[in-house]
Structure 1
Amino acid sequence: MKTQEVISYIIEWLNDYIKNSGMKGFVVGVSGGIDSAVVSTLVAATGKPVLLLEMPIHQPIEQVSRAREHMDFLKNKFSNVLTKRVDLTNSFDVLTEALEVDECNTNTNLSLANTRSRLRMTTLYYYAGLYNFLVCGTGNKIEDFGVGFFTKYGDGGVDISPIADLLKSQVFELAKEMGISQEIQKAKPTDGLWGDDRSDEDQLGATYPELEWAMSVHKNHVSSDFSGRQKEVFEIYERLNKAAQHKIKPIPICIIPKELM
């Protein structure tokens, strides 16, 4: 990949898009992970007004410190960048209490994890509405179109997706080129929705390089074409991709026949 050329292309794309949209700037949620670090750096490089939001909810301290350090780095480097911390922990706890959470339901923990993401989406759009900004997504290609590793109407609820055509490995290439901190580059990928240190790999059952391989061969192969770990990874990808179609495909619309209208 021609990394510097890709960076320049995305920055130009962002500038063209915001010019045509009539909006005034960008808002990005910064988590301390590689994807949000890359996206926030790209939008900062546009020269347009940028608001970076840190939105912890029972967040491990290492995630919080990485997010703060990255936001400070961009704020010091770019005069167009503003930062804000919005601690959503109490809001999440109050909502959890109001929902009368059923700990016996096996879906409870996942539903609450997705609720965290949706609270953050609501916060991003609140500030986007205040300032006529665009909400920038931080999802990459394998997450958004491969295994659907995002929350519907949570981190999947955005206005634009600058890196959604890049694989995770390519996002790391951009991070290296743009001087993203080594702490962020070396941190194990995590969605930060659980209040513990579980990684994306823990949840997915495979690494991003493995899933990228599966994505590249999925259309032309079946699991029986492989053996050992390759077969296992292929089946993981196939299962996740199938389950995520309700996220990946447009919302189904019931089209009423003309003769009934």
Structure 2
Amino acid sequence: MNTEKVSEYIINWLKEYATKANVNGFVVGVSGGIDSALTSTLCAKTGLKTLCVEMPIHQAASQVSRAKEHIKQLKNRFENVSEVRVDLTATFENFKSEVPVVEDTAKVDLSLANTRARLRMTSLYYLAGIHGLLVAGTGNKVEDFGVGFYTKYGDGGVDLSPIADLMKSEVYELAAYLGVPNSIQKAAPTDGLFGDSRTDEDQIGASYDELEWAMKKQNEGKTADEFSGRNLEVFKIYTRLNRINQHKMVPIPVCEIPDELQ
């Protein structure tokens, strides 16, 4: 990948889109992870207002420190970058106290994890509304179009997606080129939605390098019977997630009423 030309292309794309939309710039949720770090850096390089938002909910100290380090670095590099911290922990706890309690703890844990993402989305759109900004998505190609590893109407609820055509490996390439802090480049990817130390690989069962391989093989028309061992296991993980998460990747189905019934 030609990192210089790709970064320039994305920056120009962001700037042109914002100009046509007649907005002031972008708001980005900064988590301390590589995707949000790259996205916020690209937005900052447009020269337009870039609001970086930290939204902890029982967040691990390491994630908080990386987010703060990145935002501080961006503010030192770009005059158009500002920040705000919205601690959603109390809001999240209040939500938990109001919703019905059920016995299926696995379903509760997953629903609450998705709730964290949706509370953050709501906060970003509040800030976008009062400052005249667009919500910039932070999903990469493997997450958004491969395994659907994001929350519908959570981190998937955005106005535009500047890095969604980049594989995770390309995200790292571009992040290194643009000077994202080393602490973020070296950190294991995690969505931080469960309040523990589990990584993306722990949840998915495969690394991003493996998922990229499987995505490529599926796009080439390969099938499971062509693989064995770990390759077969990874391919099955990828194709299963790709299948069950299609509801996130395709347009919302609309019940169209036949003309003769109207």
TM over 0.5: yes
Q: Give the aligned partner of residue 260 of structure 1.
A: 261
Q: Which runs of 4+ in 1 moved over 4 A?
A: none
1:71 is aligned to 2:71: yes
Partners in 1 of 2:224 and 2:170 — Cα distance?
Answer: 26
Match of 2:160 in 1: 160
Correspondence list, 1:26-65, <5 A: 26-65=26-65
Aligned-partner Cα distance in 1 for 2:104–2:232 = 34
Letter in 1 for 2:52: L
Displacement of 1:43: 0.3
| 1:237 counterpart residue number | 238
1:25: how far off?
A: 1.2
CA distance in structure 2 between the partners assigned to 1:253 and 1:234 by the alignment: 32
The unaligned stretches of length 5 or more in structure 1 are: none
Looking at structure 2, the residues matched to 203 and 106 of structure 1 have their Cα atoms a distance apart, in angstroms, of 13
Shift of 1:106: 3.0
**Structure 1 residue 101 displacement after superposition:** 3.1
Aligned equivalents of 2:35 and 2:22: distance in 1? Answer: 26
Partner residue, 1:11: 11
1:171 paired to 2:186: no
Aligned-pair Cα RMSD in Å: 0.8
* Alignment-derived partner of residue 213 in structure 1: 213
Report the CA distance between 1:100 and its aligned residue: 3.2
Between the aligned partners of 1:239 and 1:26, the Cα distance in structure 2 is 34
Shift of 1:132: 1.0
Matches of 1:11 and 1:132, distance apart in 2 = 19
Give the equivalent residue in structure 1 for 2:135.
Answer: 135
Equivalent position SS for 1:107: helix
In the other structure, the counterpart of 2:229 is 228
Aligned-partner Cα distance in 1 for 2:112–2:124: 19
Amino acid at match of 1:237: Y
Partner of 2:146: 146
Deviation at 1:76, TM superposition (A): 1.1
Q: Could you report, residue by residue, the CA deviation over 1:49-78 in whole angstroms, capped at 9, with x for unpaired residues?
A: 111000000000000000001001101110
1:103 offset after TM fit, Å? 4.6
1:101 and 1:123 map into 2 onto residues whose CA distance is 25
Alignment of 1:172-191 (within 5 A): 172-191=172-191
Q: Give 3-state SS (helix, strand or coil) of 2:62's partner.
A: helix
C-alpha distance in structure 1 between counterparts of 2:227 and 2:40, whole Å? 39
1:155-199 CA distance string (max 9 Å, x none) = 000000000000000000001101111100000000010111100
Aligned residues: 261
Once residues 238 and 224 of structure 1 are traced to their aligned partners in structure 2, the CA distance between those partners, rounded to angstroms, is 13
SS of the residue corresponding to residue 15 of structure 1 reads helix
Give the structure 2 partner of residue 107 of structure 1: 107
SS of alignment partner, residue 53 of structure 1: strand
